[in-house]
Amino acid sequence: MLIHRELDGDLMELRILGGGREVGRSAVLLKESNRSVLLDYGVNFDEKDIPQLPIHVRPIDISALVISHAHLDHVGAAPYLYITGSPKSIATRPTLDVAKLLTVDFLRLNSYYIDYELREFDKMYNNSVFLNYGESVEIDGFNIKLFNAGHIIGSSMVYVETPQGERVLYTGDFNTIQTWTLSSAETPPVEPSTIIIESTYGGRNHPPRHLVEKKLLEVVEDTIDRGGIVLIPAFSVGRTQEVMTMLYTQAPYLDIYIDGMSRDITDLYLRHKKFLRDSDLFSKVVENVDFVKDVSMRKKILKKPCVIIASAGMLKGGPSLYYLKQIYSDPRNTVVLVSYQAVNSNGHKILEQGKLEEQSIDQISARIIWLDLSSHAGRDEIVKFVSRYKGSLRNIVIIHGNLEEASDLSSSLRGKLGEDINIHIPSNGDAINIE
Ligand SMILES: [Zn+2]
Ligand SMILES: [Zn+2]
């Protein structure tokens, strides 16, 4: 009887606290014999843009919190754990440096809904073990190692070996193609029995990147030749740095302006050069693009043809919305959306309707296009990645994708890997026993 109970205690359990059948709010609790590691603790936003938290976990029950990358859907709820607790946190240094800037912005916009303050973030930061790619740390019998995920600066895949010898690879958000700023995701040289994988684009493939980049350059040059302005609304982390590097490298004669929080983020990119693919190239780009400093400069740059890369990426607010209001009525201008556009976002509305009534923009004459410059792996890339671990793999847990994308990915994985592997598409609150 006793032996049986002890064996029961040895089972590893994965509890999905967030990110089940949804894009965002990633939070997976890996539990074994009353010891746990929490993989990410992010937020999501509902259709009214109100933050949605993951399921509660007691900080005292966590041996360590691992943050895969700086996006709020992976770290936005983590400071909650530091109101009453102080678990060790593990991340790369750029992850928490970038996360701090995003958290300041998040709290400014959502203080009504969020109960922690910046001091809890700082407490987390000061409780951190910072790892570089390929480095590991052992906490409470869990061995935790980070690998490059290629998604944004500092983004990591997390490999955990439990005290009882279970081996889990959590991909976080990952990108398998090399970009202008980052190296592609690694294939960690490990033998996981369980993979927890994102499925943002689990049902789709992206068009070849070089064709998308060619299209972007054509549109930009065509607009400038017509005497127009190109507005590129872009997320301040990652996409802005990627687009400015891409454009400057291929067309150094362009006048490129950067506006929004991306200036501070770009400074962090420069501070963490070893996490970049080509830091010399990036430094050169930063020296040769112009950062918009104030309102008078904003007005001035609109007087001649140029490229403006500005946050927010979905035109939710910030300088990109300001510029849209200035340029939308002139058919010589172009708006190039290069980020994911959530349903109900302003970016989605102008693409679908050609107007934005809430902002008194009733007829957009400027050209509007959307280009797929995603920083997430597409379906075939995910399947190829997982297939490399066929020899050791027993369980696949699909998260961070809506049910349709996750189900499509599941079918593709089943077709490639056969019937012997367990594939789960858990909902939030589900617990998966790993045997
Ligand atoms: Zn994410
Ligand atoms: Zn992300």
Q: Check: pTM over 0.75? Answer yes or no.
A: yes
How is residue 328 written in tokens?
């939308």
How is residue 133 written in tokens?
């790619």
Do domains 2-204+375-434 and 209-370 share one topology? The answer is no
CA of 149 to the centre of ligand 1 (A): 12
Measured from the alpha carbon of residue 151, the closest ligand is 2
Cα separation of 399 and 172, whole Å?
9
Instruction: Give 209-370's CATH code, choosing from 3.40.50.720, 1.10.10.10, 3.90.1010.10, 3.40.50.10890.
Output: 3.40.50.10890
CA of 173 to the centre of ligand 2 (A): 5
CA of 156 to the centre of ligand 1 (A): 12
CA of 29 to the centre of ligand 2 (A): 19
- Residue 9: the pLDDT is 54
Query: What are the structural domain ranges in the chain?
Result: 2-204+375-434, 209-370
CA of 198 to the centre of ligand 2 (A): 10
- Residue 2: the pLDDT is 41
For the chain, list residues with pLDDT below 50.
1-8
Report, at the CATH architecture level, how domain 2-204+375-434 is classified: 4-Layer Sandwich (3.60)
CA of 100 to the centre of ligand 2 (A): 15
Do the beta carbons of residue 152 and residue 239 sit within 8 Å?
A: no
CA of 235 to the centre of ligand 2 (A): 11
3-state secondary structure 348-410: HHHHHHCCEHHHCECCCCCEEEECCCCCCCEHHHHHHHHHCCCCCCCEEEEECCCHHHHHHHH
- Residue 430: the pLDDT is 98
CA of 202 to the centre of ligand 2 (A): 15
Task: Return all residues near 194 (Cβ < 8 A) that are at least 6 apart.
Answer: 12, 14, 166, 167, 168, 169, 393, 394, 395, 396, 397, 434
CA of 358 to the centre of ligand 1 (A): 28
